[in-house]
Structure formats: C-alpha cells, structure tokens
Amino acid sequence: MVANKPTIKDVARQAGVSIATVSRVMAKKANTYTPQTAQRVWDAAAKLGYQKNSAAAELATRSSDKIAVIVSNPPTNFSTGILDGMQQTALAHNHHIIILYAGNHSPQLLHQAIKDATAGPRAGILLIGSQIDPQSLKMLQDSQLPVRLVSNYSYELPLQFISSDNTELAAQSVEYLIKKGHRRIGLFGIDHSHTGLQRRAGYQKAMYEHHLPIEQDWIQYGNYSYEAGQTIMQYWADLKLSAVVAASDLVAMGIMRQAAQMGIKIPQDLSIVSIDGTFLCEVTDPQLTSVTQDFYQIGVNSVLDLLGNAPSELVPFKLVERGSVAEQPK
C-alpha cells in the first residue's frame, strides 16, 4: 500500500494555503509572497517529499527548460567533451539537457530521435554529428523550435551550427606538414559527408597554395574508423607518401597499427597528423601530433547560442605537437 506521489494540492493543504500560492513560491516568483508563507510552503513540501510534475508544468506553460540533444553515435568518441560542456552550461542557465541517442547514422533512428525530441515542449534541439536528410530537416522545422547543428555543418542547410572549421582543420594540418618539409602528403579516412568534403577542400586548398601536386589516390576515403585506417594503409607503399593527415584519431591509430605490421616506422618513414585530438592521441606510441578541437567549448557555445547569447559559429582549434611527425629533409 504505497502512497501516491504528493501533488501541489497536498502541499497546499499541508501548508494551509492555496495551490496558487504553492505554485508561486515553488517557482520563486519575486514579490508575490511573504517569507513566512514561503517557509510554510517549503516545510510542507519537504515533509511530503513533494516534487513538481514537470509534465503538468510544461503543459500549463507550453514551454520547457529541457534542451534535447540528439547524438548520432560517433565512430570516435569525442562526444563526451561536448556533452560535458553542454551540461555545465545548461545547468548554469537553469536548463537541463536530455540526450536522445540516434544510433550510428541510421536515418530511421535519427527520425525517431527527432520525433521524441519534438513530442513535448522543449527549450531547443542540439544535434551532434547528425546527417540531416530532407525529412529530418522538415521535422526539425515543423517543430518551430530553435535548433543548432553541433560539430558538423553545411552552408547549404538552413540551420545554424557550432563547430570547428573543418576546412581549416585539414588545411592547417597540411600547412604544418609542409613546413616540416613534406611534399607528398595524403588525406586518409574522410567520408563523403559535408564534413569529409570540407576537410578535403581544406587539404586541397593548402596543397594548391604551395603549388604541390595531388596525385591520384592520395585522398583515401573511409568512415573515420580504425578499420578504415588499417585498410587504407595497406596501399601506402604504392602511394609513396611521406606524410598523411588522418581524418580522425581512430583512423590515425589504424594507420599506426597497420604500419607496425608492415615494418613502417612512425614518424621516420611516415609522419601523421591526426584530426580530433582526443585522449587517444596520448595513448599511442609515439603519441599523435594532432589538430585538436575544443570539444568542451563547442558544447558550451552550443547551449549559449541556442539560448540566445554568444552567436559564434566556429570555435578555434589548435595544433598540438607530439611525436608522430618528423622533419623531412628537402
């Protein structure tokens, strides 16, 4: 025989006031009650173990303090930094984040997640690494909610975003390698999504600007995965590359592993700079030089932007030198 959860009515009775008053003090509406009555309400609520039913509150106000963040299963696990940033920032602004999991790039699961996200009142929607197809876009727009793409973007989409600059990420990786004397530089592991294309563009731009030719097959596609890195690396000998920029830390690791099996020394025989810069870069031997994204800040800016402040689209990244790049004699 379990007691039902106490409602605002129970608290009102216990405190000897009306439910309107309880509602006001729970919501801390300034200047609408005396300290005394507030205290009685607090006491009654505590005694009863009262907790506001958010479904009722959201229905009444037709609004919510919940930000739905949809995360598409990232092959590489950069998302926890982003989530940390979102979490902290949301809390600091009296908001909450609820995470909806959209699996690994299955449009179905993404649609499901968007549907869940828009099925009730929401402060807004944040999508981490999701591939937006036309139907997703329509659902998002129909919801009339503020939405932001996080960590990926396309200028062709009518959606705002918060991300590192993919083009520059790749371009600066190449610049760095060139500065170290490399000329035969490849790009391994990108896919054909906007992100992949943007990185490819950055790679090409940097090579062109330094009048370096790009031979066929220097750009190798994958899906940012460890396996892709391994597979692609098998063809390295034919490519005669002295350096490569890896599309993600995971592909960098795959490259290293395959290299080890082929007797190729990193960085003596092959230099690598990795895009992402997660903890994985410090775990390999040698450690991976990377262009590291500020995932935490991306998370912070996402919710700030969503909430109407700090409208910054691109967040800075930085190149951190570790041990996977060697100077190349010219």
Partner DNA sequence: CTGAAAGCGCTTACAG
Tell me: does residue 34 bind DNA (CB under 7 A).
Answer: yes
H/E run at residue 276 = strand 271-276
In whole angstroms, how close is the CB of 236 to its own copies at the nearest point? 17
DSSP 3: P
Write down the H helix ranges in the chain. Answer: 8-15, 19-26, 35-48, 54-61, 79-92, 107-118, 134-142, 166-179, 194-209, 226-233, 236-239, 249-262, 295-306
Q: Based on CB atoms, which residue is closest to its own copies, 189 or 202?
A: 189
The residue with tokens 């649609």 is 111
Part of the chain binding its own copies (CB under 8 A), chosen from 110-118, 168-176, 188-196, 304-312: 110-118
Taking CB under 7 A as the criterion, the residue among 28, 62, 211, 330 binding DNA is 62
Cα–Cα distance, 93 to 103 (Å, whole number) = 29
Cα–Cα distance, 261 to 119 (Å, whole number) = 51
Task: Say if strands 96-101 and 124-128 run parallel, antiparallel, or are unpaired.
Answer: unpaired
**Contact present, 132 and 70 (Cβ < 8 Å):** no
Compute CA distances 27 → 49, 50, 57, 329, whole Å. Answer: 17, 14, 10, 68
91 binds, among its own copies, DNA, none (CB under 5 to 8 A by kind): its own copies
Give the x-and-dash track for 299-328 against its own copies (CB under 8 A): ------------------------------
In whole angstroms, how close is the CB of 283 to its own copies at the nearest point? 6
Q: Based on CB atoms, which residue is closest to its own copies, 16 or 59?
A: 59
In whole angstroms, how close is the CB of 20 to its own copies at the nearest point? 19
Nearest Cα residue to 127 out of 193, 191, 93, 83: 83
Tell me: does residue 52 bind DNA (CB under 7 A).
Answer: yes
In whole angstroms, how close is the CB of 139 to DNA at the nearest point? 16
Q: Which residues contact 320 (CB under 8 A, 6 or more apart)?
A: 277, 281, 289, 290, 291, 292
Q: Based on CB atoms, which residue is closest to DNA, 36 or 108?
A: 36
Tell me: does residue 36 bind DNA (CB under 7 A).
Answer: yes
Please state at what angle helix 249-262 crosses helix 226-233, rounded to 10 degrees: 40
Part of the chain binding its own copies (CB under 8 A), chosen from 52-60, 192-200, 216-224, 322-330: 52-60
Task: Say if strands 147-150 and 160-162 run parallel, antiparallel, or are unpaired.
Answer: parallel
Tell me: does residue 117 bind DNA (CB under 7 A).
Answer: no
Tell me: does residue 96 bind its own copies (CB under 8 A).
Answer: yes
Query: Could you list the residues that contact DNA (CB under 7 A)?
Result: 4, 7-9, 17-21, 23-24, 26-27, 29, 31-34, 36-37, 50-53, 56-57, 59-62
Query: Could you list the residues that contact its own copies (CB under 8 A)?
Result: 2, 5, 49, 51-56, 58-59, 64, 73, 77, 80, 83-84, 87, 91, 96-101, 103, 109, 112, 115-116, 118-121, 142-144, 226, 253, 257, 260, 279, 282-283, 285
